[in-house]
Amino acid sequence: MRKFKEKLSERIFFALALSSISVLALITLFIFIKGVPLIAEVGAFKFIFGMSWAPGRGEFGIFPMIIGSVSVTLGAAVLGIPVGICCSIFMAEFAPVWMRNIFRPAIQLLAGIPSVVYGFWGLLFVVPAIRNYLGGPGLSILAGSVILAIMILPTIISISEVSLLALPRHYKEGALALGMTHWQTIRSVQLPAAKSGIVAAVILGIGRAIGETMAVIMVLGNSVAVPQSVLDPVRTLTTNIGIEMGYASGGHQQALFATGIVLFVIIMALNVSAQYITRRKIK
């Protein structure tokens, strides 16, 4: 009887674990089944590098959206990564205990704010600020980058901080005992040693930025064109799906799934490289 119970519970856990993985597999399969025929029909090259997106005329080129996603994400990375890494260094090395105890939950809270709230805030404050002080429509790459930079901070800060705190104590003590200053120790021993963790943090942050939809839909302007400056509106791969899915059908709907495939491949590549980098042993 006892043995039976043991076996039964094992099976139940296995079934539940399997179901979550199979959901992932089914979604992936579904996206590919829906999207691949269109890519095959249009041609992968024309689909990815086509400049014209006009579903009514059967033109499906997502290059402007790829540029949109890349530029907004790049902007978020440029703004968010330095701030995030510096913040994690401060938290791990300089902050007194009481301050750390306030900062850490506050940063986790930042991750808990729904993205639509970020978008709304961006629309009401960031967009008008850009319009008034820098010109252009305000709805722009810059607005999206600012919002995304804030949204990826928690990811970058917490993972970098953990990788700094996980370093063997003797790295720091050994360097300090050699008469290094605290900052020299951080720069030439601790940061290089925590490099893999910090790089993983950055990649995961970038992955989050590329995948974000709701917040950027509200501040990007969403016009399908290759932008000329950071003050121009753009449309990203995610917002393209988000905006048009409501009324798309037939080939148009397939094209949106095909957009999803491209997004899927990009994010998959980022996550796999993050995993690969974290697992690599420190030499």
Partner 1 sequence: MTTSSDKIAIKDFNFYFNEKQVIHNLNLGIPPNKIFAVIGPANSGITTLLRSLNRLCDLSHEARQEGEILLDGRNIRAPDVSVTELRRRVGIVFDVPTPLPMSIFDNVAYGPRLNRKTRGKNKSALSGIAEEALRQAALWDEVKDRLNAPAMSLSGGQQQRLCLARVLALKPEVILLDRPCSGLDPISTAKIEDSLIELKNRFTIVISPHNIQQAGRVSDRIAFMLMGRLIEEGANADVFSNPKDQRTSDYITGRFG
Backbone torsion region of residue 95, taken as left when φ is above 0, otherwise alpha when ψ lies between -120 and 50, otherwise beta: beta
- Check if the beta carbon of residue 222 is closer than 8 Å to that of residue 216: no
Q: With respect to partner 1, which residue has the nearer C-beta, 24 or 165? A: 165
Residue 53: phi, psi to the nearest 5?
-115, 100
Q: Which 193-232 positions form the footprint of partner 1 (CB under 8 A)?
A: 193
What type of residue sits at position 93? E
Cβ nearer to partner 1, comparing 7 with 187: 187
**Tokens 């330095």 -> residue:** 82
DSSP state of 234: B
Pick 100 or 252: Cβ nearer partner 1: 100
Taking CB under 8 A as the criterion, which residues in 40-69 touch partner 1?
none
Among 192, 245, 276, 280, binds partner 1 (CB under 8 A): 192
Q: Which of 70, 180, 243, 277 binds partner 1 (CB under 8 A)?
A: 180
Q: Which is nearer to partner 1, 172 or 208 (CB)?
A: 172
CA 112, distance to chain mean position in Å, is 15
- What is the smallest separation between the CB atom of 172 and partner 1, expressed in angstroms? 8
Q: How far apart are CA 52 and CA 152, in angstroms?
A: 31
Among 2, 15, 97, 98, binds partner 1 (CB under 8 A): 97
Integer Cα distance of 103 and 276 in angstroms: 30
Please identify, among the stretches 85-93, 187-195, 261-269, 270-278, the one whose residues bind partner 1 according to the rule CB under 8 A.
Answer: 187-195
Return the number of the residue (117 or 177) whose C-beta is nearest partner 1: 177
**5 or 281: CB nearest partner 1:** 281
Q: Does 135 bind partner 1 (CB under 8 A)?
A: no
Residue 69's closest CA among 277, 249, 208, 274?
208
Candidates 262, 270, 133, 138; CA nearest to 201 is 270
DSSP track, 76-91: HHHHHHHHHHHHHHII
- Selected from 17, 18, 86, 282, the binder of partner 1 by CB under 8 A is 282
* Angle made by CA atoms 12, 28, 56, in degrees to the nearest 5: 145
Annotate each residue in 138-177 with x if it binds partner 1 (CB under 8 A) or - if it does not, as one string.
------------------------------x-xxxxxxxx
Among 184, 245, 268, 276, binds partner 1 (CB under 8 A): 184
Interface residues with partner 1 (CB under 8 A) are: 97, 168, 170-181, 184, 188-189, 192-193, 282-283
